[in-house]
Chains A and B, each alone.
Chain A
Amino acid sequence: MNHPHEISLFELNGIVRNALKDCFPDRYWVRAELSDVKENRSSGHCYVEFVEKESRRGNIVAKARGNIWAMNWRLLRPYFEEQTGQQFTAGIKVLVEVSIEFHELYGYSLTVTEIDPTYTLGDMARHRAEILRQLEEEGVKDMNKELILAPVPNRIAVISSATAAGFGDFMNQLEHNSRGYRFETHLFPAVMQGSQTEESIIDALNKIFRKQDCFDAVVIIRGGGATSDLNSFDSYLLAMNCAQFPLPVITGIGHERDETVLDSIAHTRVKTPTAAAEFLIERMDEAYDRILTLQAQLDQTVRERLTAERQRLTTLTDAVPFLIRERMAEEKIRTDRIRSAITSRLHGILASEKEQLHRISAQIPRLAQQSIHKEQLRIELLKERLHTIIPLRMEGAAARLASLEQIVSLVSPDNILKKGYSLTLKNGKVIRNVGELYRGDRISILMQNGSAEAIITAIEPNQETTK
């Protein structure tokens, strides 16, 4: 069955192509995300895939192929990368000027004629701001900044690619520092470009963490090459690791544009590896200058002190002989004064003693005379008294003798016997008690003019006396 308007596919695609060309004669600025970027090495053309994602769930809601012809790509790519510090690569958002093409064989595509890097920059800035906000909310954003860098930061853990020109610059700068500071560096190699950057740097950080006591700081350096592909450093995970790292992190990742997230959270951010080395050297300079200042102060102070002491000593040395002389003179005056005082006092004492002696010795003969005279008078008096007393005593004694004689004569047994009393004797002994006598006893009775013998015939004691 024949249809009058039957046409071939090529013819149809040709109609579509012409229709599109008629309908969309202009160029359009389109916002989209790159999902794939491929450069054909031989032709130099760049083939990309644009997508648009739903903002909430991220589902792809639009898709288009794009071409950047070699002639354009050669100009656009370096411009874009220079402006954004970012490769024209999958995952970034772009604002591109396109014309709409339709090719019979390849179909619908967009041909890129212009790229506006400011849009990408804005998007990246938003992305970075978002990460920083999150880090701040989690309280880790300023943690590394709050660490105190050692005053002598010369034990450095370096994270870099071993072959990077920036690493060479850094090492060269450190080693050839003008004052000859000694730096101990250890390289922890990491991939500094591309999709493995984040993981690789975190891995290096973990290695350093295990040896953290060996280091004063971590330096993350990169560069020398193209200032592109920095979005690896706008990583939440990497920033989280660095912010909480126990050693100060110094970044020198080699770019001039806005800071990456890593730069924002680092303890110190410098632009290039060389600047990182200079920063460390300056810090050493500060320490060294401080030491030199202290040394100079010490030197000056000690010198001044010694000079002052020496001067003091000289002054004293000069003063001593004079002082001694002065003092000796004073002492001499004093001793002289004391000596004369003592002498005069002694003289006084001696004179008064002498005088007293004179006085006493003058009195002695007179006193002796007086004593002798007094004793003589006493003797005379005694003599006189003896003369009167002796005859008186003699008379008294004679009278007393006479009276005694009288008493004696009165009480003699003869006188008693004369008065008629008699003595009774038994065996020659005087008997005074009738109890001594027994019947038949022979007794003698003594009387004034003789004695008689008798025999006891009866004994009658008195009642009272026998009792």
Chain B
Amino acid sequence: MSKKNAPTYSDAIRELEEIVRKLQSGDCEIDELRGYTARSIELLRICKDKLFKTDEELKKLLEEME
């Protein structure tokens, strides 16, 4: 919502689960581990932001409605 390219919460969770599955199944090269870890940290941040951070853009929209 806040960034155009940011995935939605559901997409982010889905991607996270896919990464966990891949890592658990050993379906990933050690070279990719760093990339996956970085991506999962990014996704976790996105998900947590949705839970804990103010959606400034939404706030603005709502203020306009007043």
Contacts and interface: CB of A to CB of B under 8 A. Distances in A.
Interface in A168-189: 180-182, 184, 186
A345 interface: no
Interface string B20-33: 10011010001001
A294 B59 contact: no
Given A211-B65, A291-B47, A305-B33, A155 B19 contact: no
A361 to B, nearest CB: 72
Interface string B28-66: 001001001100100010011011111100110110010
Interface residues of A, number: 27
A288 interface: yes
A290 B53 CA distance: 18
Contacts of A270: none
A152 interface: yes
Given A152-B9, A294-B17, A298-B20, A181 B58 contact: no
Given A305-B30, A309-B30, A152 B51 contact: yes
A291 B44 contact: yes
A186 B60 CA distance: 12
B13 A298 contact: no
Contacts of A291: 13, 16, 44, 47-48, 51
Contacts of A287: 9, 13, 47, 51
A182 B66 CA distance: 21
A294 B52 contact: no
A32 interface: no
B20 A301 contact: yes
A152 B10 CA distance: 9
A284 B53 CA distance: 13
Contacts of A152: 9, 47, 50-51
A182 B52 contact: yes
B65 A290 contact: no
Nearest to A312: B30
A154 B20 contact: no
Contacts of A214: 58, 61-62
A297 B44 contact: no
B20 A294 contact: yes
Contacts of B47: 152, 287, 291
Contact of A184 (B10, B23, B40, B55): B55
A365 B23 CA distance: 90
Contacts, number: 78
A134 interface: no
Contacts of B59: 184
A454 interface: no
Contacts of B62: 184, 186, 211, 214
B65 A186 contact: yes
A335 B61 CA distance: 82
Contact of A298 (B40, B48, B52): B40
Contacts of B9: 150-152, 287
A306 interface: yes
Given A155-B58, A186-B65, A291-B44, A301 B51 contact: no
A309 B31 CA distance: 11
Contacts of B26: 305
B52 to A, nearest CB: 5
A305 B33 CA distance: 9
A162 B33 CA distance: 52
A302 B33 contact: yes
Contacts of B30: 305, 309
Given A152-B9, A287-B9, A290-B13, A306 B33 contact: yes
Interface in B1-18: 9-10, 13, 16-17
Contacts of B16: 291, 294, 298
A415 interface: no
Contacts of A211: 61-62, 65
Contacts of A150: 9-10
Contact of B52 (A181, A186, A295, A305): A181
Nearest to B62: A186
Contacts of A301: 20, 23-24
A291 B15 CA distance: 12
Contact of A294 (B44, B51, B58): B44
Contact of B13 (A151, A154, A297): A151
A290 B59 CA distance: 27
Interface of B: 9-10, 13, 16-17, 19-20, 23-24, 26, 30, 33, 36-37, 40, 44, 47-48, 50-55, 58-59, 61-62, 65
14 contacts: A181-B52, A182-B52, A182-B55, A184-B62, A287-B9, A287-B13, A288-B48, A291-B47, A291-B51, A294-B20, A294-B40, A294-B44, A297-B20, A302-B23
Which 3 A-B residue pairings sit nearest by Cβ, starting from the closest? A301-B23, A152-B50, A297-B20
